[in-house]
Chains A and B, each alone.
Chain A
Amino acid sequence: MKELTFTTLIAVFEEIFGPGLFWAMVVAAVLVTAAYLYVLVRDRSMSMRKFLLAQLSMPFGAVTAVLFVQAMTSSGFRDIGGPIDLIVLLGVAVLGAVGLAVLVYTLQSLTRSSRA
């Protein structure tokens, strides 16, 4: 890679998903994060009960993210070939776990009352 600028990166992601889907996902990510921040500010505290359920959902998010990436790329666990592959795999798992946890927490907060 001669030069990897953020504009290049954005262009590449636009090509992977198509500009429509890519920016829709960006918007979705912004909305979920904004909603998460909104409920935190609204409730003035983290609800440990909601947080528990969010935490319990994390393994599912992790496994789903890994299997999704593997299915999308015709590959599997036997293809892990070196340290960087393990880091990438764990990275995908962590992102999936955190992403689902935030989503679950936010959905609970939005659908239930703030005192739950």
Chain B
Amino acid sequence: MDQSDFAASRRMFLGLAAAGVAALATRAPAQAAQIKTSARIVIIGAGAGGTALVNRLVERLDGAAITIIDARAEHLYQPGLSLVAAGLKPASYTVSKTTDWLPKGISYVNEAAAGIDPLTRTVSTSGGQSIGYDYLVVAPGLVLDHGAIEGFSLDLVGTNGIGALYAGPDYAAKTWEAARKFTEEGGVALMTRPTTEMKCAGAPLKHAFLIEDIASRTVGAGKYQIHYTAPQASLFGVPIVAEKVRMLFGERGISTHMQHTLLSIEPGRKLARFEKTGVDAVTKAEVKSTVELPYDYLHVIPPQRAPDVIRQSGLSWADKWTDQGWVECDQKTMRHLRYPEIFALGDVAGVPKGKTAASVKWQVPVVEDHLVAAIQGKEGTETYNGYTSCPLITRVGRAMLVEFDYQNNLVPSFPGVIAPLEELWISWLMKEVALKATYNAMLRGKA
């Protein structure tokens, strides 16, 4: 992200161009010399992490045999899905071709990774290929476990007031069909989130804020209610942000139902069933009960887990997230704790935070550094501090640029200029204009 607001004037571009040329002139020799190697590097996943890394590795290495494995031909710009599901962008805004981003001189295997054997150091693919590696980067993303919500299936999205924006560009567009009906007719909206770790924990909040804002401008106050439900006890993992969101929800009249886990839905009766966790007033014991809530619009975010190929390969944590299977790795170096030639990157990594594109942007240079150092027989020095960024949209036109690390500290990029807990137009401009551009630059290895 950067100062997208300067985009309006040609004179600004002139200044930037001149400065850029000057900077290029002074910085040109900074790029380190390429390292000669014959190492075999396999990257599983051509999403944000895999693509950004491969573009950086080809710049750093000379002669390495790099293979990237991904079954999906489309590359998805997932930070855009929230905008698609609020009718602000078309589905096509988030879709490009995987091959458009991959560098020359590498092998691209358009198949799924079917198995990983960390002992023999081979990856097998759905097409029956067996690919040996010296270094492996696992960046396959995660899978959405829609089956875990009884009564829900993806073909319901867009009908009967059901939305599910995480499921992909087309489903995000269908989500808007259902949400738009709600913003025009009013009624009761239920927003949910899963018990598991999830991609961008801000997205469920953004969807609630956006739909509330659009409903307030369309059907108007008094004609709709928005209920935000979550299995967790707080609205956001970072306490100071959770408090701010609590205040904003209060101002906006969004009611909250904490410790409510979505179990099942009945689309015909428009009922959602939740498991509510409470504490008995007398015994102080945990008490679970079932609660039914009616809805006119329901946004479903299912539990999220590591892909089966990861969970079956023995790379997952044995004692953490056992129902989810995230890869066991050092949270500072992203390096596997038992197989030092393996790195985890992106959503699949078993680290406390960081299932966002912004985290990937910080993780990629760390993996690159340690991988290249390992090839040279050295130790890398870069570390990942858990940085995650979330342009937390609160209205069409406003957002809070929330950035934090493993310790739940706020780490603002522009301290004193862009306040992290203030709803600002400039933060919205960043999300709207500069974020995808920065993301694309990251994919090309340039940011």
Contacts and interface: CB of A to CB of B under 8 A. Distances in A.
Interface string B11-47: 1111011011011100100000000000000000000
Given A8-B2, A74-B396, A75-B425, A82 B10 contact: no
A56 interface: no
A79 B425 contact: yes
B447 A8 contact: yes
A74 B424 contact: no
A11 B16 contact: no
Contacts of A10: 16-17, 20
Contact of A75 (B8, B397, B440): B397
B8 A68 contact: yes
A40 to B, nearest CB: 16
A102 to B, nearest CB: 7
Contacts of B22: 6
B426 A74 contact: no
Given A13-B437, A88-B429, A6 B11 contact: no
Interface class of chain A by DSSP: helix
A29 interface: yes
A74 B88 contact: yes
Given A8-B447, A74-B432, A79-B397, A91 B13 contact: no
B8 A92 contact: yes
A2 B365 CA distance: 11
Given A11-B444, A92-B5, A98 B11 contact: yes
A13 B432 CA distance: 14
Interface string A1-20: 11011111111111110000
A35 interface: no
A51 B321 CA distance: 69
Interface string B428-447: 11001110111011001011
Nearest to A16: B437
Contacts of A9: 2, 16, 20
Contacts, number: 148
B7 interface: yes
Given A13-B16, A73-B428, A102-B11, A7 B24 contact: yes
A5 B27 contact: yes
A80 B414 CA distance: 18
Interface residues of A, number: 47
Nearest to A26: B17
B426 A88 contact: yes
B362 interface: yes
A32 interface: yes
B426 A11 contact: no
B422 A11 contact: no
Interface in A64-83: 65, 68-69, 72-76, 78-82
Nearest to B403: A1
A6 B24 contact: yes
B419 interface: yes
A41 interface: no
Interface centre among B395, B397, B440 (most CB of A within 10 A): B397
Given A8-B446, A72-B433, A2 B425 contact: no
A6 to B, nearest CB: 3
A69 B8 contact: yes
Contacts of B27: 5-7
B446 A84 contact: no
B282 interface: no
27 contacts: A1-B414, A6-B16, A6-B20, A6-B24, A7-B27, A8-B447, A9-B20, A10-B20, A11-B446, A15-B440, A16-B437, A30-B17, A33-B11, A33-B14, A69-B8, A73-B397, A73-B432, A75-B425, A78-B397, A79-B397, A79-B428, A81-B422, A84-B419, A88-B425, A91-B6, A95-B6, A98-B9
Given A5-B27, A88-B429, 5 more contacts: A11-B447, A12-B437, A79-B395, A79-B428, A80-B425
Interface of B: 1-2, 4-14, 16-17, 19-20, 22-24, 27, 88, 361-362, 365, 387, 395-398, 413-414, 417-419, 422-426, 428-429, 432-434, 436-438, 440-441, 444, 446-447
Among all A-B residue pairs, the 7 with the closest Cβ atoms: A95-B9, A79-B397, A6-B23, A75-B397, A15-B437, A29-B10, A29-B14
Interface of A: 1-2, 4-16, 22, 25-26, 28-30, 32-33, 65, 68-69, 72-76, 78-82, 84-85, 88-89, 91-92, 95-96, 98-99, 102
